[in-house]
Structure formats: C-alpha cells, structure tokens
Chain A
Amino acid sequence: MADASSNELLEAPLVIEYPFMRTTGPVIGAFLTGLRDGRVLGITGADGRIVCPPVEYDPMTGAALTEMVEVGTEGVVTSWSWVTTVREGQPLQHAHALALIQLDGADTSMMHVVDAGTSAAMSTGMRVAIRWADEREGLISDIAAFVPTGAE
C-alpha cells in the first residue's frame, strides 16, 4: 500500500481516444470490400487512367467516377523511406519501409509498408507483392504488408 506521507509523485498514462465511426461511401466501401475479398480495386479516371486506391471524384476534372476495375496484387515501388523508429499503432512493429507502390494495372501509387528486413533490400523499381492479413475484415490493414517478390 502506498504511503501517503511519502514524497512520491504519481504519474499515469492518459489516453484521450475518440472512437470515430466513419461511413465509407460507395467507392472506398467497394475498395475495402475488395480487400476483404482478397483483391484490390482501382477506379477509372476521366482520362482513362486507373487510380488506385480509388477516389470518388476525378483528381483533374472533379467529375464523379463510377467504373471500378480490379488491379494486381503485385506492383513496383516508386518511392520509399526506411523507418527505424517504429511507433505504436504502425502496421509493423519492426523496422520497415514506408513506400509508394504502383500495383500492376494501376497508374497511381498507394502508400503502404514493405516488410523488407533491411534497407539494403529496398530499391526504387523493385517488385513487391501483398502479404494479406490472416483475418481480413474490410480495412486497409487487410494488407498486412508488401514483401519483395520471391520472398514468400
């Protein structure tokens, strides 16, 4: 039992958390549904380019977009940085790359983590593939990580 006469000064973790529930809308909802089903969906832009992750409105013209298409589950790293200090809540709890990944069939890149082991294994232009989460529930975390192709 603590001694009230001591000079001990208490300290405790204090977490203020807002449990937001957000509606996804039809486009992001379809993207997340696709992840749950083990596939990745993009959307056809006004100029025919495939935007992935999909957006509801064309990035250039603002027109509402409706044509979703399936893209690959492998792709190319277009940019990356190495994360050595991992923070709580990040997808991987060991050193990893944060990368922009252009999936096969897509014309834009998505940001995700690459579980490459060491930064020496990373390079722009390298090919990576999705490592799916053991249980998929319709969240971006259904993609546990990307891994260099041939690694799994």
Chain B
Amino acid sequence: MYEPDDELERELRRLAADAEPVPAELIRAAVDAFAWRDIDAEIAELVYDSLLDAEEASLVRGPADQRMISFAAGGMTIDVEVTSAGPGRTVMGQIAPPQRATVDIRYRQDTVTVEADELGRFRSGTLPPGPASLRLRPPPGDAGPAIVTDWISL
C-alpha cells in the first residue's frame, strides 16, 4: 500500500543524512567508549544534578556558575560541586562516609589523579568541559573494589 507519509518521511531522512550526518570522529569516539569500561568497578549512579533536579526558583537564585551533583553506590555517596570559569571547570568533591581515596578524574583524552584527604575531600585543577567520570580507588592495603561514577558532561 502506498503511504504518502512514509514517503515524505523517507525524503526528510535523506535530507538529514546529507545535511547533518553523524560526524565521523564522533562515531570513532563512540566505538572507543567501549575501552573505557571498568568491568571490575562498582558503579556510583548519578542521583542528583542541580541543573536538572533543582527547583526552577532555586536554580535562578543560586550562583550562576555552580552545579551540584551527587552519585551513590552502596552505602557511599560522592557529592561534587562543579564551578565554571569561562571554558574551564573545577571539581570539588566530598566522599561520605569520609575516607581517604585516590580519585582518577577521567575525561576525554586524559586522566588526572588527585587524593581525597581523611575527611573525604578532594579538588581538581582546571579541567576542560566535556564528558568526565570519577574513579575512586581505596588506599593501598585496603580491600574493596574501585568505584566509578556515571559519566557526566562537565
């Protein structure tokens, strides 16, 4: 049966494929994403993002360049405050319950490592915007799996 709607939709699809194809470098990045998996680590899921979950009113009143994000895994939470200054991002974190850990901040092409102190606090230098994830490793000699957070866009 001839379906004029289907034909029109196909024509639109051809146009989009010509005018706005998926950039080849992004397809490569998606393929490469598979290599970032950390199959032994526990995932700390994104449970709060002030950009999405805060009341509209408090969002407007809050500092314009600060974003609060929380991840949770088992009995642990990781609260992160992202500060924007121009194109740069700074991450300040708090692990609860408080504990020492080595924190790998994984982003695009690189990983930077910082230490969380005995109060569970850590802080990054200036990072580029884009996809990022935290990987928490317990101190040497401490048993327990590493924890990786959901990827977020800084």
Chain B binds chain A = no
